[in-house]
Structure formats: structure tokens, C-alpha cells
Amino acid sequence: MSTVRIPPVLRENTGGTRSVDVSGRTVAEALDDLFGKHPELRARVTQDGELSPFINVYVNDRDVRYRDGLETALEAGDTIILLPAMAGGAR
């Protein structure tokens, strides 16, 4: 079991839920489980079956782009962080 942190801009697609427990041996499986529970997220997080270029995925503190991408293996208790680019500031 791993935990996915839902970033603030995607919480409208999870009914406000901030983290979701998921199962899966890889990031891809864990995300599939997540999308099963919150189907609207699929279109926000992926594009044509690949990760959206605007969202970084970290397992614990490591960017999966620098590991094995969606095939990055998960261990029990891992935290998956979805991190879309944020821009809010001045106004």
C-alpha cells in the first residue's frame, strides 16, 4: 500500500480529498488504482497514456523521470507526490 498526495489544484477531482491510499507494485499500477477511485484524475495527470509534461511525479523525494518512470517500483509505505506547476503569487 502506498499513499498518493493530491496536490491542491487537483483536489476538485477528488472531492477535496488530500491523500489517497493505493495499491500497486509500480507507479503505473498505483496510478491506475488511483484513477479507478477518482476517474476524473486520469485526464488531468496523463496525456495519451503518458504522464502529462506539466505534472511531476515523485516517489518519496525522487522524481520518477530520473528513476524508471512509470515503471518505478514501489515499496510498502512509499509516498507518491503529484506536483503540477504552480504559479499563484502576486494578485
Partner 1 sequence: MSNEQTPIREVNAAEAVALARDGYRVIDVREQGEWDAGHVAGATLLPLADVPQRIAEVVPDKTAPLLLHCAVGGRSARAAGWLAQMGYTNVVSMKAPIGHWKEQGGTWEEPVQLLTPAQQRRYSRHLLIPEVGQEGQRKLLDAKVLLIGAGGLGSPIGLYLAASGVGTIGFVDDDVVDESNLQRQVLHAADRVGMLKVDSAEMTIRGLNPETKVVKHVERLDAGNVERLIGGYDVIVDGTDNFDTRYVLNDAAVKLGKPVVHGSIYRWDGQITTFVPFEGPCYRCMYPTQPPDELAPACSVAGVLGVLPGIVGMLQANEVFKLLLGVGETLAGRLLMFDAMGTTFDEVRIWRDPACPACGEGVGATPDPDRVAAGA
Binding site for partner 1 (CB under 8 A): 5, 7-9, 18, 53-54, 56, 58, 61-63, 66, 81, 83-91
> Which residue's CB is nearer to partner 1, number 26 or number 52?
52
Residues forming beta bridges with residue 2, ordered by sequence position: 22
- Give me the least distance between CB of 85 and partner 1, in Å please: 5
- Buried/exposed 1-37: b ≥16 CB within 10 Å, e otherwise: ebebebbeebeebbeeeeebebebebbbbbbebbbee
- Give me the least distance between CB of 86 and partner 1, in Å please: 4
